[in-house]
A and B are shown apart, each in its own frame.
Chain A
Amino acid sequence: MTQFIIPTLASGGAGKPFFTNPAIEKIKDLVNALSVPEFSLPIFTVGFILMMLWYRKWTKPKVIIALTAGACVFYFGSMLIDYNYLLILKKPDNVPITIMLLAMGLCLWVAFRQAAINDARLEAGLPLPDADKEDKVLVWPDLVYTEMICMVLASAALVLWSIVLRAPLESPANPAGPPNPSKAPWYFLGLQEMLVYFDPWIAGVILPGLIVTGLIAMPYIDINPKGNGFYTIAQRKFALWVWLFGFLILWVVLIVFGTFLRGPNWNFFGPYEYWDSHLQVPLTNINLSDYFWVFGLGQPLPKNPFAREAVGIVFTAFWCLALPVVLARTVMYRMYNQMGSTRFYIMAFHLVIMAMLPLKMVLRWLFTLKYFVYLPEFNLNI
């Protein structure tokens, strides 16, 4: 749709934004500086924490209207003051992500609003709004008509979307000429973004595998009988915090990074930076073994790869295998007792592996850590 709002745009970085003046340029620089993952991911995380803690406040209709208005000004404002950013946003295959973010915001509000109401009622000892099991309606007409109306509206929306936005088609396939950047379809860009921190065998195989097994195992692990069949936060704190952090921050936010903020050579660009394909970012990342032997002990790296990587191997083994046991004996002993060992260890294993992603990110940002374990001899880098 944006191509109707903003008339013809040439490619490259030569176009002019609608508004520009020195103050706006200052703002853009600030946004660019803050958008690098080491700042923006913690900012998103803080936002997530506030969302979870203050759900009774921000879901009030008045607050939501103010927040939505603010978000609209921010969103359209951010489009109009910069040309490159607009180019990325209006790429046809990127439009679905904007749609997804809007839909997700709406859905989260609807969910958290009902959770706030339900939780308040439960605290006051009142029955839930829908507690009456026998309060039934006939499928014909109530459900069938709702379904039909949804179907008509959805068809109209889909046809409208298809008229307004052409499906992209680039030049014919050329096996010799990869575009830069080469990106997977947007729904896999979270995984591609993880490639910055982990090798493909982890980011592309192990982590997606564990996402699937973790999801399937979830109903058998989560033995909390409360909060079944209605929106609540108070009754299912642990499940909600972990799952929503994984989905919203480690999946959706990484997709946004991968789509909007990763340019040529998978370099990071702020929303208002020109995607310069000649930009070379020097790779200065350092392995844990270098830290230990060279910087710590002042020795050359040992010849034997296992001796060389001993610290990393011990650390990784501790994190993946011993940490669950430590958790069971310390902070999570109550959970362990309730769940039993099989359930607990399946849960804890998935949890620590999930936590490895933010851990590695933070270590990368703080210490430019490359690999915990660097065994190129076996293609085994962690």
Chain B
Amino acid sequence: MMQPVRSALDYVRSTQIWNSIFRHGVPRDRRTRVMAVMSNLFLHLHPVAVRKSGIRLSFTWCMGGLTFFLFLAETISGVLLMFYYRPVPEYAYADIIGLRAHVTLGLLREIHRWGAHAMIIAIWLHMMRVFLTGSYKPPREFNWGVGVILLVLTMLMSFTGYLLPWDQLAIWAITVGSNMGKATPFLGMQGPFTDLVQLPGGVPLVTVKSDAAYLLLAGTSVGENALMRFYVLHCIALPLVLAVLIAIHFWRIRKDGGISGPL
């Protein structure tokens, strides 16, 4: 039984096509295993050898990796959701219902939503792990800072996505959140010191139509402009920034000497 499979695999591995893709032999000895990592763009994120402590599950809890996995899962399910969803009040809610009713194996929305919650949990636990192992200490100070920005962006991703189903939960949760923007000192209509921001002659610069909340919502309350704004932030702007920063984060892990361990 095994023998034909073996020889079939061996045949595939001897073809010109296979050898043009994977330039090394089967990773069975040290040399080919090193080659397997070095000659693959994705695996090349890793060094060829790592400290034993760094890959122990009890050390990293795999939480950074899990955060990244969830980011990928969100990207894929998110792209699929975009095929079915129109970010205007007339259609948004109906499209969400349609997703459940008409799309084969209608689990997309579930995967995307629970994946987002899980990503928040994973990133918090990742941060806690990095803190508890003191891994933010030199030489990893900068990468911790990159991480904090990633944390903020991840929470903003979740926040902007929360509005898109356009149900009661969505608009009122975003209303509660964006009301805080109205209270920004100097920049929000209901915040302190906002009266001080004016042109000579007493012309106020910050009005209901130009304060921090208006910038976020493109309106004085959560309406169709806010929906479009959140959609673009959620599907394009924030993920792009997130992807670039994740790349920096991973690059720096290597440049800072790999996963931390006792010095």
Q: Are B155 and A222 in contact (CB under 8 A)?
A: no
Q: Is the CB of B43 within 8 A of A162?
A: no
| A260 CB within 8 Å of chain B | no
Encode contact with A along B46-69: 1 for CB under 8 Å, 0 otherwise. Answer: 111111110111110111011001
Residues of A within 8 A of B260 (CB): 228-229
Q: A30 to nearest B CB, angstroms?
A: 31
Interface presence of B82 (CB below 8 A):
no
Q: In the complex the two chains form, what is the Cα distance from A337 to B151 in whole Å?
A: 33
CB pair A200–B190 under 8 Å, yes or no, is yes
Q: Which residues of the partner chain B approach A172 to less than 8 Å between Cβ atoms? A: 93, 166-168
User: B121 CB to closest chain A CB, in angstroms?
Assistant: 5
Per-position contact with A for B24-36: 1 when CB-CB < 8 Å, else 0?
0001001001101
Cβ contact within 8 Å between A170 and B168: yes
Q: DSSP majority for the B interface?
A: helix
Given A96-B118, A141-B33, residue A170 in contact with residue B167 (CB < 8 A): yes
A170 to B136 CA separation, bound complex (whole angstroms): 42
Q: Which of A41-49, A58-66, A145-153, A357-365 sits within the interface?
A: A145-153
Cα distance, A186 to B121, chains bound together (Å): 11
Does A179 lie within 8 Å of B114, measured CB to CB? no
Q: List residues of A (94-111) whose CB comes within 8 Å of B's CBs.
A: 96, 99-100, 103-104, 107, 110-111
Q: A242-259 vs B: 1/0 string, CB under 8 Å?
A: 010001000000000000
Q: Chain B contacts of A379 at CB under 8 A?
A: 183, 190-192, 194
Q: Distance (Å) between the CB of B113 and the closest chain A CB?
A: 4
Bound-state CA distance A310–B136 (Å) is 42
B13 contacts partner chain A, Cβ-Cβ < 8 Å = no
- A137 in contact with B43 given A154-B69, A188-B159, A218-B136 (CB within 8 Å): no
Set A110, A136, A141, A247: member contacting B51, Cβ < 8 A: A136
CA distance A103 to B66 in the complex (A): 13
Which chain B positions have C-beta within 8 A of A212?
Answer: 148, 152
The secondary structure that dominates the A interface is helix
Interface string of A32-56 (1 = CB under 8 A from B): 0000000000000000000000000
Contact B37 A236 (CB under 8 A): no
Question: Which of A110, A139, A170 has the largest number of chain B CB atoms within 10 A?
Answer: A139
Q: Do residues B169 and A168 form an inter-chain contact, with CB atoms below 8 A? A: yes
Q: Which of B174-182, B197-205, B238-246 contacts A (4 or more CB under 8 A)?
A: B174-182
Report B-chain residues with C-beta under 8 Å of the C-beta of A126. none
Query: Count of chain B residues with Cβ under 8 Å from any Cβ of A?
Result: 101
When the two chains form their complex, are residues A205 and B184 in contact, meaning their CB atoms are under 8 A apart?
yes
Bound CA span A103–B65, Å? 16
Contacts of B247 in A (CB 8 A): none
**A158 touches which of B73, B169, B221 (Cβ 8 Å):** B73
Q: Which of A99, A131, A137, A169 has the most CB of B within 10 A?
A: A169
**Is B225 at the interface (CB under 8 A from chain A)?**
no
Which of A144, A146, A188, A225 touches B177 (beta carbons < 8 Å)? A188
Interface centre among B36, B110, B221 (most CB of A within 10 A): B110
How far is it, in angstroms, between the C-alpha of A139 and the C-alpha of B55 when the chains are bound? 9
Q: Which residues of A contact B (CB under 8 A)?
A: 93, 96, 99-100, 103-104, 107, 110-111, 114-115, 128-131, 133, 135-144, 146-147, 150-151, 154-155, 158-159, 161-163, 165-175, 177-179, 182-188, 191-192, 199-201, 203-206, 212, 215-216, 218-220, 222, 224-232, 236, 239-240, 243, 247, 375, 378-380
Q: Residues of B at under 8 Å CB distance from A?
A: 27, 30, 33-34, 36-37, 43, 46-53, 55-59, 61-63, 65-66, 69-70, 73, 89, 93, 96-97, 100, 107, 109-115, 117-118, 120-121, 124-125, 128-129, 131-138, 140-141, 144-145, 148, 151-152, 155, 158-159, 162, 165-173, 175-177, 179-185, 188, 190-195, 221-223, 260-263
List 10 other contacts, CB 8 Å, given A114-B59, A130-B56.
A93-B169, A111-B129, A139-B43, A143-B55, A158-B73, A158-B111, A158-B118, A204-B181, A225-B137, A230-B261
